[in-house]
Amino acid sequence: MAEANTAPGMMTPLGHGAGTNEHDASRRDFIFIAAGAAGAIGAAAVVWPLIDQMNPAGDARALATIEFDLAKLELGQEVRFTWQGKPVFARRRTPEEITKSEQTALSALKDKLSRNQGLPASADASDANRVPVGPDGKPKPEFIVLVGTCTHLGCVPVFGQGDFGGWFCPCHGSHYDTAGRIRIGPAPANLEVPKLAFVTDSVVRIG
């Protein structure tokens, strides 16, 4: 203990003096590594709350599902509302529109996948795979519910314009048909169909 004072100018903290042996040194190394590792683990644990706080809070998550009554829609009417802050289009299609959409060949589509959150990712983009499935398990082709965010760069398409009787995105000119499928334009994918579940015969839960 005392010999340190006989060596003025001694600046190295470790491994000086006659009493130091290899065993001591390795024991000390272990202590330093353990203390350093414990500190690092603590610091890492603190980082998580600081990251997680930026995720949607409880009030935002509570709105993650909403319900909508499709019976309110008149023939040909489109209603817009927000879900998770995103625009949602719900529309009741006319029989002509349904027939036309059902007869569209897959080969005519730019994106051949259904883009339906309620179906496997590999499902094709046939009209039946885009419309909601009723409580009886049968598709309800008169209705279409879409996330109204253009798959190109997130603008909100307008209805009734464009070459396919459906939606048209004014930002960069993407044309969607009445089933929300991309036909012409820069958008890479069909409009997304949210996960839908019927709560009653006509009330559908989104999300």
Contacts to other proteins by CB under 8 A? 1-5, 8-9, 11, 13-14, 16-17, 19-20, 27-28, 31-32, 34-35, 38-39, 42, 45, 48-50, 52-55, 57-59, 61-65, 67, 79
Answer whether 187's CB lies under 8 Å from 174's CB.
yes
Question: Minimum distance between the CB of residue 79 and other proteins, rounded to whole angstroms?
Answer: 7
Q: Within a 13 Å sphere around the CA of 150, how many CA atoms are in the beta-carbon half?
A: 24
Residues 6 or more apart whose CB falls under 8 angstroms from that of 129 comprise 114, 116, 119, 123
Smallest distance from other proteins to CB 14, Å = 8
Cα 107 from Cα 185, distance rounded (Å): 16
Rounded to whole angstroms, how far apart are CA atoms 175 and 163? 7
Q: Which residue, 145 or 182, is less far from other proteins as judged by CB? A: 145
User: Of 114, 131, 132, which Cα lies nearest the Cα of 182?
Assistant: 114
| Residue 170: CB minimum distance to other proteins, A | 24
What are the residues whose beta carbons fall under 8 Å from the beta carbon of 200, sequence distance 6 or more? 135
CB of residue 160 vs other proteins: minimum separation in angstroms? 19
CB nearer other proteins, residue 55 or residue 122: 55
Catalytic residue numbers, as ranges: 172
User: CB-wise, 16 or 112, nearer to other proteins?
Assistant: 16
Nearer to other proteins, 56 or 188 (CB): 56
What DSSP string runs through 18-48? TT--HHHHHHHHHHHHHHHHHHHHHHHHHHH
